[in-house]
Amino acid sequence: MRFNKIKATKEGKIKMEYEVKNEKGGWDEFSFSCAEEPKPSFTAALADLTRDALEMCELPDVYLDRLQASGVSFSYGGENETMGAVIIASMLLNKSNTNLNLNTPHKTEDFYGETGDEMQLLNPECVSRLHRLIEEAEDYVKGIRAQGNLFNQKIKA
């Protein structure tokens, strides 16, 4: 399974787009939007990307308290299907009744080929946080959410 988008909507839903490798070697695509509350660790993993969004957008540290990461769009490129990401965030504005929506520059976890520009790479700590979010998203897809695992609950008769 690989994710193309993981997002917490302002309506309180979790929206995901992901792919699963099929028997022919291609990718089958799936998407859903769900109001089931995620585990607190999912919410924390998404929130942990706020600092990365601040740094990638080259915003001053004083904006950190006004910024909130709400999702990630993923891509895969090169012969090794190298992961790339854009962090989606919003920032509370002082003189407006709506937030400023921000998308970070697209950066990759490694070069697509043998060489590239170091400025195009995600820092290793951000890559680790993205992988943590992906693990949390996999649990969400499997039904492991705030109330526990949906698929392993015993039903009382």
pLDDT tens-place string over residues 60-104: 999 999 999 999 999 999 888 999 999 999 999 999 999 999 999
Helix, strand and coil content of the chain, in percent to the nearest 5, comes to 25, 35, 40
Q: 10 in helix, strand or coil?
A: coil
The answer to whether 134 touches 46, Cβ cutoff 8 Å, is no
* CA pair distance 150, 147, nearest whole angstrom: 8
Secondary structure of residue 134 in the 3-state scheme: helix
107-121 tens-digit pLDDT = 999 998 777 788 999
- Looking at residue 114, its pLDDT comes to 75
Could you read off the pLDDT of 23-41 as tens digits, one per residue?
A: 998 999 999 999 999 999 9
Q: What is the mean pLDDT of residues 42-60?
A: 97
Structure token digits, residue 102: 């921000």
Buried b (16+ CB within 10 A) or exposed e, 72-100: bbbebeeeeebbbbbbbbbbeeeeeeebe
**Inter-residue contact 120 to 126 (CB < 8 Å):** no
